[in-house]
Amino acid sequence: MTVASPVASPARLLTRLTLPALLGCAHVRAPALADTGGYRGPFNNDDQHHADLCVRLRAPSTGSPSVALRYADGTPTGFALSTALLVPQSGAGVWCPAPGMARLDAREIVRTGDGRAMLFHRGGWGFQGQDAESAVHYGHVLVAELDTAGVRYASPPTGQTVAYDARWTPAPLVPWTDEGQRRGNGTACARPAAVADTVLVRSIPGDMRYLNSARTNAVPYAIYGDPSEDLGPAADRARGVRYTMLAWSWINVRGGGVARTLVRDGAPFRRCADVPSIRLAAVADAPSRRPTGWVEAAYGAVRDGAGTSLHGWLVVAHRHGDAPIVRHLR
């Protein structure tokens, strides 16, 4: 007796077919990445604003004031501030009200290995040349090399017009927190990685940008790549200084991307296993929002000179168009 072969049900037949087979073997692309969204939570909150405090360099007994810019452990970066360099340039943000003033982002004191106090200096935009050409770089500065008081900036109340010079009031050289920090930006995670990765400073191409909070302007990711070699005067770019930025919060939240410290090439970075990384599409410009690749950031920590962990967001990988993925850690 001949036994007929069993006939598979339509459902079973479908389970045997792959997606490309069902689509006529067409090439299947993964869903496009969005340029917004991603993790928001205890370690990535809105409103991590700048703490703008402009102060003069302390004059030495001889010569013009000049102070070293430093990493979080107190080691000099190779760049310095001088009164001649500190020329403010007006624009849409905050610039110091007079020449010869350093612009601190006065959120915290960090310490060198021998216990000296430092505050973070915010360079680039707001000084002559703006981000692309300014010779005024970022980095920590020793408090002892600054005047004991300066002027603090306050944004005018919503709907009110206040003359620019009137927004500055005298203030001591003391840091202050804001809403983003109080909600958890920069705080320690519960599950740091057992072994630290090594930072590989890598350039991020100039056509890879993110949209500001108002989604009206596209900002280059380059400052979170290799800003010391990709931004500033040509002579400074050629000096071989290589660092990237650790940010209090990431660029997908309001006020995100504010630098907390510089991170040198080869520095240890300990990722937080309990905080999701953020991968967002990069765009060419604000009007077209044409995708140019993606950038991924992760939350983790570096250490200052006293061994205190400084937590924040660091670019860990990017991909430019269809080029191979570039890793920023190993």
For residue 221, give the nearest of 93, 313, 139, 115 by alpha carbon.
Answer: 313
Q: Does the residue 43 lie in any domain?
A: no
Q: Tell me what pLDDT residue 15 has.
A: 40
Q: Tell me what pLDDT residue 185 has.
A: 98
pTM (two decimals): 0.88
**Integer Cα distance of 132 and 136 in angstroms:** 11
What is the pLDDT confidence band of residue 7, given thresholds at 50, 70 and 90?
A: very low
For residue 202, give the nearest of 235, 231, 238, 243 by alpha carbon.
Answer: 243
What is the pLDDT confidence band of residue 61, given thresholds at 50, 70 and 90?
A: low
Specify the higher pLDDT residue, 15 or 281.
281
DSSP-derived secondary structure for 216-228: S-EEEGGGGT-HH
Task: Say if residues 134 and 121 touch (Cβ distance below 8 Å).
Answer: no
- β-pair type (309-320, 326-327): antiparallel
Specify the higher pLDDT residue, 18 or 86.
86
Q: Does the residue 2 lie in any domain?
A: no
**Integer Cα distance of 134 and 155 in angstroms:** 24
Q: For 130-175, what is each residue's pLDDT tens digit?
A: 877 889 999 999 999 999 999 999 999 888 999 999 999 999 999 9
For residue 102, give the nearest of 48, 71, 142, 73 by alpha carbon.
Answer: 142
- Amino acid letter at 296? E
Q: What's the domain range around 263? A: 52-327
Count of structural domains, the chain: 1
Q: Does the residue 19 lie in any domain?
A: no
**Integer Cα distance of 74 and 109 in angstroms:** 12
Task: Inform me whether the pLDDT recorded for 24 exceeds 50.
Answer: no
Mean pLDDT of 286-290: 94
**Integer Cα distance of 122 and 103 in angstroms:** 6
Task: Inform me whether the pLDDT recorded for 17 exceeds 70.
Answer: no
Q: Does the residue 263 lie in any domain?
A: yes
Burial class (CB in 10 A: 0-12, 13-18, 19+), 158: exposed
Provide the 8-state DSSP code for 54. E
What is the pLDDT confidence band of residue 36, given thresholds at 50, 70 and 90?
A: confident
Radius of gyration of the chain (CA): 24
Q: For 197-241, what is each residue's pLDDT tens digit?
A: 999 999 999 999 999 888 888 999 999 999 999 999 999 999 999
Task: Inform me whether the pLDDT recorded for 73 exceeds 70.
Answer: yes
Q: Tell me what pLDDT residue 267 has.
A: 98
**Integer Cα distance of 44 and 258 in angstroms:** 12
Tell how far CA 292 is from the center of its chain: 19
Least confident of 31-40, 181-190, 253-262: 31-40
Q: Tell me what pLDDT residue 31 has.
A: 56
Q: Tell me what pLDDT residue 225 has.
A: 97
Q: Does the residue 145 lie in any domain?
A: yes
- List for the chain the helix, strand, coil content (%; round to 5): 10, 35, 55
What is the pLDDT confidence band of residue 10, given thresholds at 50, 70 and 90?
A: very low
Summary mean pLDDT of the chain: 89
Tell how far CA 40 is from the center of its chain: 16
Residue with tokens 């920069």: 186
Q: Tell me what pLDDT residue 62 has.
A: 58
How many H-runs (helices) and E-runs (strands) does the chain carry?
6, 19
Task: Say if residues 299 and 191 touch (Cβ distance below 8 Å).
Answer: no
Q: Tell me what pLDDT residue 28 has.
A: 41
Residue with tokens 């320690």: 188
Q: Tell me what pLDDT residue 131 has.
A: 76
Q: Does the residue 9 lie in any domain?
A: no
Q: Does the residue 192 lie in any domain?
A: yes
Q: Tell me what pLDDT residue 60 has.
A: 67
Mean pLDDT of 275-289: 96
DSSP-derived secondary structure for 253-318: STT---EEEEEETT-EEEEBTTS--EEEEEES-TTT--EEEEEEEEEEEEE-TTS-EEEEEEEEEE
**Integer Cα distance of 155 and 110 in angstroms:** 26
Q: Does the residue 15 lie in any domain?
A: no
